Structure 1
């Protein structure tokens, strides 16, 4: 089915709390009139989790549960201005109402039902919208796995199970940035026939490794352009993190505090106010209805990358085409990725 040009993608975001998630979420809010946002769920990953005192699990780079409500409140300060320039921006009150905390205690933990998993479980069970539901996966898949497992546990032996399972499988599409825990491979892929678009590579052009990609593609990520953009566009963009901007993120490890001077001293390839990362943004770039029809077929290609069909349920972005700057394709020569000529 071909999406109409005026039809918005329907989506739920799941995210952990790394600085690139924060930057991606800020950008998402600015693009949010392009989507029907149905839920926002904080989750964990192999890189970030809150810990569990009772089980003796210490937090790992945990940045807390408040950064999403905070950025939504900051979005609220510019909401009236955004409405002047585009229709369809969700109210900040609505966005706060759909924020939930999912499975955050440990990497890949999906034994416990949480507010986030119950929200997703109920949404999937009660969903009557005929449009696909894109679950953006910026962190681990564990909260999604818990929701699906709860549905299986409650209905797996019931007469309605085959109907429920088929309806969910035909509707849900997961856009995964890396595999940031093992719950997709260990549970979802084994038990559910759900379509997955797995970005294992393309996001690096817009993530931490951007300095090592072709300069023609990333020159606007350098400090001169970034500082001009961020510093001149008001209080909301003041929350956008840049290298060496003085920002300290509570809970993050010192060697990942990219806003402090010591990070610049240890990483001389960067300059103050260089771009940091938005590694998760391709998951919603893919959903922007720009007429390329990639939502109809991931192999067509779009702003979130072009994908190869690996199976009936799995697409990966191994379709790396001719690069006009390096005059070759990654398939022919992996140095196309790192060349700065």
Structure 2
């Protein structure tokens, strides 16, 4: 009877989720210099475990400054073959995992040449042509280009668009593109940003990886528990005993999953908002500005170190104090330590997205009843609220549920950097109840406050879902 109850609850929750997700799925084409570093294979394994959440439109083997003269689509196909073995079991956990036979045709190749040597007349590739073909489809959703290596396949697609399309068509197609590159790994990135000044582009420019926001995924941070990026954690939770896809996940060579931030914010978890990089999410938070050379160093990649000619979405600072678990009384308390920096905007969510990854790896081999699934948050009000200055606000997530029947923990906190009101909001009473109340700030002009609800289950591994409530405060 208990299993039947959970099955009915699962069916109800997922019917709601699927209806919500269908309109939210982001389209993405991956450009990967796979075999330049084991981390591309690591990121591809993770990406496929979210293939039910993200609409994968292409996976293109490319070059980079680390792999200048060859491309390796066969390595992509190897990972897809492992996915094919576990896909039937993944579908037990969510029906939207795509058929392997639908993914294999999406594997394409760019030219096996470095950077701008692959951009110009008669330098098209099946990868650059595929980007254009996908852009031209009758689909109003933006097309994300997630660049894990060099960007010259995208550069060639843009070159062809500029030289074969009318100005109106150029504008229409380019307006649908969204680009996130893992720094600059060839000389085409700066060319793209200079020649296509209206192109939506997220990047920590240059090759100084140590100062890049994306580096927060694998940075060892003093003062926090870094266990979930450790080799022993990876071995236990990802590589061993989780089927052929986990077994294919390689050991860390330089840094674990350096390319994953290029798609983390496309996962519809209630926190991520891909169209708003300044709101922050699993992939970090970014500010739209023209960066300077202040604090930037030259790496050893050979990628040119050039001045940006326009504003881009790039590094910006978060301030963060973690909540600490307590054994007695209120079960969480805010740490007095304050972490600041651009990488903070990414690693602050790291335990959550690592646990989520581990749970999905369990999905590869376990039946639904033996694995964990994220809570389903239900608010008793809208997630967009308008109030007058100084007025009381009550937020309530009483109707939230868990597909596995797990106990739920609630945590409400404001995200000052995401809104226009930058001062902390004091929550009355406790921030870990399902219902909270507080006063809107007193303002002299219209301001926005971003309040985040995080709901975490007590399953193994513990999984979190989010809701972002945006409050407009009028004077």
For this structure pair, what is the TM-score category when the shorter chain's length is used for normalisation? 0.7 to 0.9
- 1:168 shift after superposition: 1.6
User: Would the aligned equivalents of 2:143 and 2:178 in 1 still touch at CA under 8 Å?
Assistant: yes
Per-residue deviation, 1:92: 1.0
Query: Which residue number in structure 1 is paired with residue 283 of structure 2?
Result: 304
Partner of 1:231: 240
SS in 2 for 1:26: helix
- For residues 267 and 137 of structure 2, the distance between their equivalents in structure 1, rounded to whole angstroms, comes to 22
Match of 2:179? 174
Distance (Å, rounded) in 1 between the aligned partners of 2:256 and 2:146:
17
What secondary structure, in the 3-state scheme, does the structure 2 residue paired with 1:296 have?
A: coil
Kindly report which structure 2 residues correspond to 1:1-341, keeping only aligned pairs within 5 A, or say none: 5-6=20-21, 7-17=24-34, 18-50=37-69, 64-111=72-119, 112-124=123-135, 126-155=136-165, 161-199=166-204, 201-207=212-218, 210=219, 212-214=220-222, 216-229=224-237, 230-243=239-252, 258=253, 276-310=255-289, 314-324=312-322, 326-330=337-341
Q: Which has the higher contact order (CA 8 A, sep 6+)?
A: 1
Cα 1:196–1:233, aligned 2, differ >3 Å: closer, same or farther? same
**Cα gap change, 1:32 to 1:215, in 2 (>3 Å):** farther
Shift of 1:289: 1.1
**Are the counterparts in 2 of residues 103 and 109 from structure 1 also a CA contact under 8 Å?**
no
Counterpart of 1:216 in 2: which secondary structure? coil
- Check the 8 A contact 2:273/2:281 in 1, yes or no: yes
Structure 1 CA distance for aligned equivalents of residues 138 and 193 of structure 2: 22
Shift of 1:301: 0.5
Quick check: 306-315 or 172-181, which moved more? 306-315
Q: 1:279 to 1:108 in 2, by over 3 A?
A: farther
What is the rounded CA distance, in whole Å, between the counterparts of 2:99 and 2:311 in structure 1?
Answer: 35
Residues 138-175 of structure 1 deviation map (CA, whole Å, 9 limit, x = unaligned) = 111100000110122223xxxxx121111122211101
Q: Which has the higher strand share?
A: 2
Residue 205 of structure 1: how far off its partner (Å): 2.4
Note if contact 2:202-2:312 (Cα within 8 Å) is conserved in structure 1. Answer: yes
- Distance in structure 2 (CA, Å) of the matches to 1:328 and 1:107: 37
Give me the whole-angstrom Cα distance separating, in 2, the residues matched to 1:100 and 1:44: 13
Once the two structures are TM-superposed, the CA of residue 280 in structure 1 deviates from its matched residue by: 0.9
1:313–1:34: structure 2 CA closer, same or farther, 3 Å change rule? farther
Q: Distance in 1 between matches of 2:99 and 2:77?
A: 13
Cα deviation code 1:186-211 (max 9, x no counterpart) = 2443235210122462221224xx3x
Taking the aligned partners of 1:290 and 1:313, their CA distance within structure 2 comes to 28
Kept in 2, the 8 Å contact 1:241–1:276? The answer is: no
How far the C-alpha of 1:288 sits from its partner, in A, is 0.8
* In structure 1, C-alpha distance between the alignment counterparts of 2:313 and 2:164, rounded to whole Å: 30
Note the residue ranges of structure 2 that are not aligned, 5 or more in a row: 1-18, 206-211, 291-309, 323-334, 349-475
* RMSD of aligned Cα (Å): 2.5
Query: When the two structures are superposed, what TM-score results if normalisation uses the length of structure 1?
Result: 0.75
SS at match of 2:51: helix
Q: Is contact 2:30-2:60 (8 Å) kept?
A: yes
Partners of 1:130 and 1:82 lie apart in 2 by: 29
2: CA distance, partners of 1:89 / 1:97:
16
Any unmatched runs of 5+ in structure 1?
Answer: 52-61, 156-160, 244-257, 259-274
CA contact (8 A) 2:114 2:186 kept: no
Aligned residues: 281
Work out which of the two has the higher radius of gyration on C-alpha atoms and give 1 or 2: 2
Cα distance 1:214–1:129, how it changes in 2: closer, same or farther (>3 A)?
Answer: farther
Say whether the 8 Å CA contact 1:199–1:317 is kept in structure 2.
Answer: yes
TM-score by length of 2: 0.55
| Distance change (3 Å), C-alpha of 1:122 and 1:224 | closer
